[in-house]
Amino acid sequence: MDTTYRELAYRLIDVRATHAPTRARRFIDSHFSGEDLVLSYLNRHGRCAFPKELGEAMDVTTARIAAILRKLEGQGLITRELDDRDGRKVVVRITQAGVDFVAKRRSEAFDYFVDLLECMGPEDAAEYVRLTEKAMDIIADKERARVERLEVKAS
């Protein structure tokens, strides 16, 4: 194949850019950002966290986390309360309504991806999942290396 990595990168970017933001794409994107991501994080990590921890996990500003938490609290999906051990800190806890919301959204996403993978067929579906896992591992490794370089520069 004569295609270069640069050409493939352009194709990959174009695929994403040229397909109109469909309802399904917005649905998928919402599962991996903003409020859904905060709720999923809380649900997977002991159902509570400090706002700073959430911001670091999501790689967003404290202002963005504060806005997300205000919205989630207003919907009754989280609570914010003073930490028992350090009264100067606020701890964020997912409510039962938040846990139920995460379960519902996860079920919706699962159904969507089952349908998508079925449309691809067994071989393409398995290859898509394998390549997605590989890409995510590479991205995580690159991010860890970037953070390590920053830590070395800071010391």
pLDDT over 90 (residue 33): no
| Mean pLDDT, all residues of the chain | 87
Name the H helices within 32-120. Answer: 34-44, 51-58, 62-74, 96-120
| 150 band by pLDDT with thresholds 50, 70 and 90 | confident
pTM over 0.85: no
Predicted pLDDT at 134: 96
Contacting residues for 49 by C-beta, under 8 A, at least 6 apart: 41, 42, 57, 91, 92
113-121 average pLDDT score: 93
Predicted pLDDT at 154: 79
pLDDT over 90 (residue 32): no
Predicted pLDDT at 92: 95
